[in-house]
Amino acid sequence: MKICMIGVGYVGLVSGACFADLGNSVWCVDKDEGKIETLNNNQVPFFEPGLEELVVKNYNSGRLKFTNNLSLAVKNSDIIFICVGTPTRRDSRSADLQYVFKVASQLSKLINKFKIIITKSTVPVGTGDKIEKIISKKKKKKYFEVVSNPEFLREGEAIRDFRFPDRIVVGTKNKKVKKKLEVLYQPLIKKGANFFATNRRGAELIKYASNAFLATKISFINEIANLCEKTGINVEDVSLGIGLDKRIGGRFLRVGPSYGGSCFPKDTRALTVTGDEYKTDLSIVKSVIKSNDKRRLVLTQRVKKILSNKLKGKLITFLGVTFKPNTDDMRQSSSLKMIPFLVKSGAKVFYYDPSGKKKEFDKLKNVFYCDDIASSCQNTDLVILHTDWEEFKALDFKKLSKRKKFKIYDLRNIYSVETMKKNGFKYYSIGR
Ligand code: UDX
């Protein structure tokens, strides 16, 4: 099929490369000339495992093309995915839809024959209706159908998530369009993905409800972990014990720092705005947001306690600062709150992250980037295992720091309490 992806950010580029890999002809278009030039030079502007190889392979085969020319890409496509950003508005908690609406208005002038216009960007309930209204100003309804088809890709595992999704959600009442999308997704359906069609507003809400529900699971287990720490119970046992109930399910019950990234924090907030707009109190989602915000404080207080309330002059190492492994993304990472707090309290922070130095800490006094694990830990008083990158999973703690009494705070429960104790390490973790 002939496809156009508008926006070569995370969603657009991953989906575009994967659609091309399924044999479709894909035009990826973006107004950012630098990004398109980078892609035409066989480079990917952000970090995602396996993506560069996939882009290069499909670019060389001629199935994947990059351009700044929206008109060219639209005219050569039957299915158009809108994948532009929907960041949180600076003045509120809601999603900023200016880029989506701008694209809709451009499309209204460019459509030359029937097009399926799909929002893949995460957009609040009713956005599809607004897009339809914008395009209808210039084009008759028979020339287009606006559909919602949200993405559920996780950073760091996006290609796998695209290829083996649990479900594909499509929001449209148009039977012909639904059939066409079923054909587009046939290779994935054949491998076991559920194809679920509903109306457009339903699909839009499914995306927000999914993310809010997953965020709820994480916050729930993190709060249970707080209780476990006070009652001498191992939270891992609780996760397993409740997760074995199929009605609950074991996934997304891993304890950790506050959840971060570009989706959960943004989408939970935007969902409460929709709730407010429709005069519906989404009190559960609101308390999840509160609980997650509070978590950063809970953890920094714990760090203080581990260091006997003396942060002044202490050397603290962060292993990993990104919000999760296999990404260079810092958005809403708990390290962004924890590190400034610790240096303000008089500590010096050294950090190492496999995805490199972070500009977010450039202006902070007493925060230093190290090129490797060894130099970041050399004289440390406390190692904080913040992100569970693979290379942190088999550390030789005996040789890590010159300070004999250094401590380890494992925010991802990577190591076993028993083994660490047996080896005489001062080891702290979450909920156990
Ligand atoms: C999420 C959704 O999973 C995906 O479906 C959606 O399309 C985009 O948002 P992503 O933000 O890439 O994906 O990462 P995810 O793996 O979901 O993790 C989000 C945050 O939750 C991270 O900070 C992660 O560390 C945390 N998390 C996740 C936990 O603390 N415990 C868990 O069990 C799972």
User: For ligand 1, atom 17, which residue shows the shortest CA distance?
Assistant: 154
With the most atoms of ligand 1 within 8 angstroms of its CB, the residue from 10, 155, 235 to mutate is 155
With the most atoms of ligand 1 within 8 angstroms of its CB, the residue from 263, 269, 336 to mutate is 263
Q: What pLDDT score does 379 carry?
A: 94
Which atom of ligand 1 sits closest to the CA of residue 211?
Answer: 2
- Four-residue CA torsion sign, 295, 297, 298, 300: positive
**How far, in Å, from the CA of 262 to the mean position of ligand 1?**
9
Check whether residue 263 and residue 400 sit in a common domain: yes
**How far, in Å, from the CA of 165 to the mean position of ligand 1?**
15
**How far, in Å, from the CA of 237 to the mean position of ligand 1?**
21
> Which residues lie closer than 8 Å to 100 by C-beta, 6 or more apart?
82, 84, 86, 119, 121, 123, 127, 131
Check whether residue 257 and residue 279 sit in a common domain: yes
Q: What pLDDT score does 89 carry?
A: 79
Which atom of ligand 1 sits closest to the CA of residue 154?
Answer: 12
Q: What pLDDT score does 428 carry?
A: 98
Regarding the beta carbon of 151 and ligand 1, being less than 6 Å apart is answered: yes
Check whether residue 97 and residue 235 sit in a common domain: no
Look up residue 151 and give its two tokens: 């993405």
As a whole number of angstroms, the distance between CA 200 and CA 198 comes to 7
Q: What pLDDT score does 49 carry?
A: 94
Check whether residue 23 and residue 142 sit in a common domain: yes
Which atom of ligand 1 sits closest to the CA of residue 155?
Answer: 12
Check whether residue 325 and residue 399 sit in a common domain: yes
Regarding the beta carbon of 323 and ligand 1, being less than 6 Å apart is answered: yes
Check whether residue 166 and residue 255 sit in a common domain: no
Which atom of ligand 1 sits closest to the CA of residue 264?
Answer: 9
As a whole number of angstroms, the distance between CA 130 and CA 127 comes to 5
Q: What pLDDT score does 92 carry?
A: 75
Q: What pLDDT score does 378 carry?
A: 95
Check whether residue 162 and residue 220 sit in a common domain: no
pLDDT in tens for each of the 432 residues of the chain? 999 999 999 999 999 999 999 999 999 999 999 999 999 999 999 999 999 999 999 999 999 999 999 999 999 999 999 999 988 877 777 889 999 999 999 999 999 899 999 999 899 999 999 999 999 999 999 999 999 999 999 999 999 999 999 999 999 999 999 999 999 999 999 999 999 999 999 999 999 999 999 999 999 999 999 999 999 999 999 999 999 999 999 999 999 999 999 899 999 999 999 999 999 999 999 999 999 999 999 999 999 999 999 999 999 999 999 999 999 999 999 999 999 999 999 999 999 999 999 999 999 999 999 999 999 999 999 999 999 999 999 999 998 988 888 999 999 999 999 999 999 999 999 999
**How far, in Å, from the CA of 218 to the mean position of ligand 1?**
9
**How far, in Å, from the CA of 164 to the mean position of ligand 1?**
17
Check whether residue 162 and residue 258 sit in a common domain: no
Domain boundary among 198, 215, 232: 198
**How far, in Å, from the CA of 353 to the mean position of ligand 1?**
19
Check whether residue 167 and residue 219 sit in a common domain: no
Domain boundary among 178, 198, 218: 198
As a whole number of angstroms, the distance between CA 275 and CA 278 comes to 5
Q: In what order do the strands lie in the sheet with 382-385?
A: 367-369, 348-352, 315-319, 382-385, 407-410, 426-429
CATH number at residue 218: 3.40.50.720
User: For ligand 1, atom 31, which residue shows the shortest CA distance?
Assistant: 254
Q: Active-site residue numbers?
A: 263
Q: What pLDDT score does 132 carry?
A: 98
Range(s) of the domain holding residue 20:
2-198
User: For ligand 1, atom 16, which residue shows the shortest CA distance?
Assistant: 154
Total count of domains within the chain: 2
User: For ligand 1, atom 15, which residue shows the shortest CA distance?
Assistant: 154
Domain boundary among 168, 198, 228: 198
Check whether residue 103 and residue 162 sit in a common domain: yes
Check whether residue 226 and residue 111 sit in a common domain: no
Regarding the beta carbon of 252 and ligand 1, being less than 6 Å apart is answered: yes
Regarding the beta carbon of 155 and ligand 1, being less than 6 Å apart is answered: yes
Which atom of ligand 1 sits closest to the CA of residue 152?
Answer: 7
DSSP 88-130: BPTTSSSB--HHHHHHHHHHHHH--S-EEEEE-S---TTHHHH
Check whether residue 277 and residue 414 sit in a common domain: yes
As a whole number of angstroms, the distance between CA 13 and CA 43 comes to 12
Regarding the beta carbon of 27 and ligand 1, being less than 6 Å apart is answered: no
Regarding the beta carbon of 265 and ligand 1, being less than 6 Å apart is answered: no
The DSSP element (H or E) to which 367 belongs, if any, is strand 367-369
Regarding the beta carbon of 257 and ligand 1, being less than 6 Å apart is answered: no
**How far, in Å, from the CA of 269 to the mean position of ligand 1?**
15
